[in-house]
């Protein structure tokens, strides 16, 4: 269940939206001023993990040029899908 974060372009207030089901219809508007002029923002993340025997807990990054400027890929230790 992802949490999306938005900023109101009218009053600069921010709000979070917890998505329970991808098929849910959501009336997306600012809770402070009722504006529908919202912009999705990138949320900061926080995580904690414990390394097993011989596992690394360091995060590595790779930055490269992309069509929109520069792009960064982060390699976070742990299980992948």
Bigger pLDDT: 3 or 37?
A: 37
Q: What is the model's pLDDT at position 30?
A: 92
Identify the CATH assignment for 1-44 out of 1.10.645.10, 3.30.70.2860, 1.10.3720.10, 2.20.28.10. 2.20.28.10
Helix (H) or strand (E) holding 27: none
Q: What is the model's pLDDT at position 8?
A: 92
Please answer whether residues 26 and 36 qualify as being in contact, where contact means their C-beta atoms are separated by less than 8 angstroms.
Answer: no
Please answer whether residues 18 and 42 qualify as being in contact, where contact means their C-beta atoms are separated by less than 8 angstroms.
Answer: no
> Does position 76 have pLDDT exceeding 80, yes or no?
no
Q: What is the model's pLDDT at position 57?
A: 62
> Does position 65 have pLDDT exceeding 60, yes or no?
yes
Structure confidence by residue, pLDDT tens digits, 6-40: 899 999 998 888 877 777 778 889 999 999 999 98
């Amino acid at each position: 269940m992802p949490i999306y974060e938005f900023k109101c372009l009218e009053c600069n207030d921010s709000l979070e939206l917890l998505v329970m089901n991808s098929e849910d219809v959501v009336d997306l508007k600012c809770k402070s001023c009722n504006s529908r002029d919202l912009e999705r923002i990138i949320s900061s993340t926080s995580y904690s993990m414990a390394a097993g025997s011989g596992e690394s807990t360091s995060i590595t990054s790779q930055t490269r040029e992309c069509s929109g400027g520069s792009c960064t890929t982060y390699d976070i230790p742990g299980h992948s899908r």
